[in-house]
Structure 1
């Protein structure tokens, strides 16, 4: 009788164990880093995003609910159709449970549609369009790191409040630049400033001299740079050559990364104002994490996308653990229920629209004489809460938000 009872108990334990294990599909959790490995964003993301995701997995312990966690990656080549094909293959035939990074707005929007149709998790750290949490929002997507609204608002509002009340904009002539211009102009005017002029230039312009001369002639206190990438770096370099900052006008970038600052050098970038959601040298925790990352990555200074990729993967794994499953809908709900806590986020909310409510910071780039060591590039001018930074839900076009 005792043997029979023991046998029944063991059988019951095996059934319970098998039921628990069945909650993880394919007996593994697989995370795909869909990123730019070969194009214009590769220096910011690429292998560095892969390292950030792997670091989060390692810090979590390498397993979740007793099952191994693996990282795979692919190059979307900054093409939406390639991103859609890769993500479809990952989800349908290769057992990928979640995708992260997805640098580039068109790429992210295409991937979001694939993830939505399959109830898969999308952790966006490398795309800035507000459509991802606006009219295209998804219940299984969360947007980390930044968006165009927050950075345009942070820079335009804070600089205007601090006396930069007249602006001239240099704007890249495509949807990204137009969106930045529209948002930043609104925030300048809402804070008592005035936009005295603007000029659009074609994407990929090698020569900004005529545009900078117009900005200089406007006598605006602030020249707003509604652009990114190589255009932005060229504009900053040529503005220094024209003596624009030296003569009293200020440059304000709406989207720039710390690696760009290092690339052009403090002698050229000094005085530039910008907004960011992460600076490696903020406090002891960010410095400790960044030191570990730099040791793993060959000295690369982590940017806001690097930090966002790590944070998104870590929070996802915590949610899988808490939910007891890797089912996309269940995990997404748990991610929104749980506050985000890591080395730089403290009790941060993920809203119903998927927006992660990071703090943001207005920074001014230091001069070479102010900088004491590599990476000592920023001085904090203002700190803004997530509520102060991101578009209010009352203004959201996200269909997941209940409207009265």
Structure 2
């Protein structure tokens, strides 16, 4: 574990006034733990940028908690559930961490969710994609913020099938996350009059997609759906360009791809690709202002959706702490679900009883190099999906909390 200070800004926001005598904020302190991928293959989309995002949220809300100290610490879970759960347990039981933030990778997030279940701490998850966090494995102590596989698959598959092409071929990472993306997207394709003409599954951390891409190319499908993530998505998009797949008239649709991935691919290879994100740094005056502040501490890099979700989730958590006048997990969770979500990055929404945060999702297409006007000018908006349509309906998730 380490406490990260960046630039001249401390990770601890301090104010001078005293808390009211009736406050239940123990010791006048709120402690946020960013449990993330500092050194692994998702570190660009989470990692230190997630710590910076939490730090900015603490600074922005400091004036709303007179006399309180908001502290941000961090740790690298190394993408291992045992390390993630052990770190979270130590934080919660020994170091008085009130909220665990980010936690990319579904397996790690599910393990951490069980640690916080029934405790006085909350998990506010931005990084993972599994719908199980708000389905069968839902917890009163878990809030799932940024995205999930249902929202990504539903957004991209529906819009692309309606507007670009009806026939799909899936290139899928051969593990539970990839299977879930493919299954969800296939159902949406068929429900919207499309067909799935074939698919192939590949090992994770794969370096050669040639045989898989040749099968996709030979299928003649209008759309090649990429049901993979991070390095596998980057490599498959680059190699698809080398094989002339998109120049030959087929389209790529990535079911999980973020700004950092597009940056790694480059616009020359990624141009024309479709993807769904809940946040893009260049959408509004407010998102640009936040992104400028973020970039000052991140050597010019713009925030990903995961990192923006850490900021948004931390800010709403702190609003709930103020409303409840407490850091007790049950009290803060109740307040988070009662107060509408509203911030400059994700807009207006709400936290449902199953812990799923409802907000708009956006389908984008990657610009060509000629269309881009500068660094990280990557996306053009295709369609915005309203908050009430963007996520799996509450009655379809199987969360026990939804039936109580």
TM-score (norm 1): 0.93
Q: How does 1:155-194 map to 2 (within 5 A)?
A: 155-194=156-195
Unmatched 5+ residue regions in structure 1? 1-15
Tell me which residue corresponds to 2:34: 33
Tell me which residue corresponds to 1:231: 232
Give the C-alpha shift of residue 149 in structure 1. 0.5
Cα distance in structure 2, aligned partners of 1:284 and 1:163: 30
Q: Secondary structure at the match of 2:38?
A: coil
Contact 1:63-1:69 within 8 A present in 2 as well: no
Contact 1:199-1:211 within 8 A present in 2 as well: yes
Q: How does 1:184-263 map to 2 (within 5 A)?
A: 184-263=185-264
Contact 1:31-1:99 within 8 A present in 2 as well: yes
Task: Establish whether residue 91 from structure 1 lines up as the match of residue 92 from structure 2.
Answer: yes
Cα distance in structure 2, aligned partners of 1:202 and 1:293: 35
Q: How does 1:5-404 map to 2 (within 5 A)?
A: 19-21=21-23, 23-61=24-62, 64-402=65-403
Cα distance in structure 2, aligned partners of 1:160 and 1:270: 19
Q: Secondary structure at the match of 2:239?
A: helix
Contact 1:37-1:45 within 8 A present in 2 as well: yes
Give the C-alpha shift of residue 321 in structure 1. 0.8
Contact 1:216-1:244 within 8 A present in 2 as well: yes
Contact 2:62-2:70 within 8 A present in 1 as well: no
1:177-228 alpha-carbon deviations (Å, 9 max, x no partner): 1111111100000000000000111112211111111111111000011101
Output the aligned Cα RMSD. 1.4
Cα distance in structure 2, aligned partners of 1:368 and 1:130: 35
1:268-290 alpha-carbon deviations (Å, 9 max, x no partner): 10000000000001111111111
**Would you identify which runs of 4 or more consecutive aligned residues in structure 1 move more than 6 Å?**
none
Distance 1:391 1:17, change over 3 A: closer
Contact 1:293-1:302 within 8 A present in 2 as well: yes
Distance 1:199 1:303, change over 3 A: same
Cα distance in structure 2, aligned partners of 1:119 and 1:56: 21
Query: Which of structures 1 and 2 has the bigger CA Rg?
Result: 1
Q: Secondary structure at the match of 2:350?
A: coil
Give the C-alpha shift of residue 390 in structure 1. 0.6
Cα distance in structure 1, aligned partners of 2:101 and 2:273: 30
TM-score (norm 2): 0.93
Cα distance in structure 2, aligned partners of 1:284 and 1:251: 30
Contact 2:79-2:105 within 8 A present in 1 as well: yes
Cα distance in structure 2, aligned partners of 1:119 and 1:96: 9
Cα distance in structure 1, aligned partners of 2:298 and 2:213: 37
Q: Secondary structure at the match of 1:261?
A: helix
Cα distance in structure 2, aligned partners of 1:32 and 1:119: 14
1:37-72 alpha-carbon deviations (Å, 9 max, x no partner): 111111221111110000000111267252211011
Tell me which residue corresponds to 1:4: none
Give the C-alpha shift of residue 18 in structure 1. 6.8
Unmatched 5+ residue regions in structure 2? 1-17
1:70-100 alpha-carbon deviations (Å, 9 max, x no partner): 0111111111111111111111111111110
